[in-house]
Structure 1
Amino acid sequence: MLSRAIANRFAVASRNFMTSAIRKGDDPGGVPGSNLPFQIKNRFRLTVTFILFFGSGLALPFVLVRHQLLKQ
């Protein structure tokens, strides 16, 4: 019974902390993309950003292998 009471107190404290953190946040709630580290308004810029980000990660192993093969 004691462990259930402790668990309930922990749950209530956790819930109160999360709701207060959400209330104290300076982000406008309910706006899609407001909490992202990049802008999603401009589709062209978003596409170029994604291509550069994911393309660099995909190309890196091939560039490293080429460098090792040409190094001699």
Structure 2
Amino acid sequence: MLNRSALFARNVVTNFVRNHHGGNPGENLPFDINNRFKLTAMFIAFFGSGFGAPFLILRHQLLKK
């Protein structure tokens, strides 16, 4: 059997999770997932910049005089 403080803590956590979760999938994301083409372009730009940066830096260093 749980003591009062453990029961109170469980109720607080349960209520926090229930009240702070959005009802719609993707509602709590910092970007819009409704437009597939914009989402694809944003993913390509985000991951492409991280993947391409070392190659661009290397090219810049090799072309420097």
TM-score above 0.5: yes
Number of residue-to-residue matches in the alignment: 64
Which amino acid letter does the alignment assign opposite residue 29 of structure 2?
L
Query: Which structure 2 residues correspond to residues 1-72 of structure 1 after superposition, within 5 A?
Result: 9=5, 13=9, 15-25=10-20, 28-29=22-23, 31-72=24-65
Alignment RMSD: 2.7
Q: CA deviation at 1:45?
A: 0.5
TM-score (norm 2): 0.74
With the length of structure 1 as denominator, give the TM-score of the two structures: 0.68
Q: Percent identity?
A: 52
Structure 1: give runs of 5+ residues left out of the alignment: none
Deviation at 1:17, TM superposition (A): 2.9
For 1:66 and 1:16, locate their aligned partners in 2 and report how far apart those are by CA, in whole Å.
57
